[in-house]
Amino acid sequence: MLRLTAPILFFLIAAACSPVSPQASTTTSRPPSSTTTTDAGIDDICVTGDLAFGTDGLIAAVGEDVGDASKIDRIRWDGAGTCERITIAFTNENGAPATTIGPTGVSVLSFAGIVRIVVPPEITTTAVADTLFEGSLAQTAYVVRDSSGGFTIDIQGAEGIPIQARAFATTSPATLVVDIARGPGPSVPAGVTASTTAVVITPVPGPNLYPVTTEGYAAPGLRSIHLLLDGGDGVEQDRSIALDGSPDAWQAFRTVTPDGPSGQVKLFVGTVDANARPLEGATISIDLP
């Protein structure tokens, strides 16, 4: 049974904040009813029960006050009628399946097409860094270690498709279940710019203003990532961002550029050679005044 105190709920809301202001959404941990309905002959869990889908901001605060989950063990994708189900399993410090998970927040970052999961700080290791899905809605999951050592899990949706999600936790064994469906709105998410070296969430392509916040995550094992700004006449800024070199997860980074070149600017985030020339990374075209 869910037992969330007011301070824990406040922590989850604060930790799950996105770069845009979230809209009001449903916060619940009740699993959908086990009764399935049928749509055109397909068992569809996504039209079952009274657990609502949320389109932006915090959509679920789940878990127990204290859990024994200490490791992210597995991330599984399943097709489910009109939605796609992601199931995350955990183990305890003895390597056995965990029975409960601590306070966990799930949010939708609608501007980026991401479902973000903030797991409790007791989860300190992971067996999964990233995984590709076979879905038309959910594409990739990234396990990301932040600067304080905690984990988030970002589930990236398909390009150009608005998404909505709902989530609940199970016990014995402890799992987190996230259902992702196509969103109802006409707006299209900007998405992320991804490579094998870096994933950039902000800035998004198109018009931007200084100061420019560059936020995302770098591949496991890297000790630094470079940010290059090219206004058309060559690289005008080269900023190196130090990383911990964490080998088991992607590594979060965030930096602010107060000013720089104007007009059509290429922003590169990734690795460079000895002459500061781009090697591998993500490139975003932005328009700056």
pLDDT digits (tens, 9 = 90+) for 28-66: 344 554 333 333 334 677 777 778 999 999 999 999 999
pLDDT band (50, 70, 90) for residue 4: very low
Question: Per this entry, what is the length of the chain?
Answer: 289
Residue 148 confidence (pLDDT): 87
Average pLDDT, the chain: 86
β-pair type (138-145, 250-257): parallel
Whether residue 187 lies inside any domain: the answer is no
Query: What would the pLDDT profile of 130-166 be if each residue is shown by its tens digit?
Result: 999 988 999 999 999 998 889 999 999 999 999 999 9
**In the predicted structure, residue 201 carries a pLDDT above the cut 80:** yes
Which helix (H) or strand (E) is 91 found in, with range? strand 83-91
Last residue of a domain, one of 182, 205, 225: 182
State the residue for tokens 């869990």.
45
Neighbours of 260 (CB within 10 A): 17
Which CATH number do you get for residue 110?
2.60.40.3500
Domain range for 218: 193-288
At residue 155, what are phi and psi to the nearest 5 degrees?
-100, 115
- Number of domains into which the chain is organized: 2
As a whole-number percent, the residues of the chain with pLDDT over 70 amount to 85
**In the predicted structure, residue 217 carries a pLDDT above the cut 60:** yes
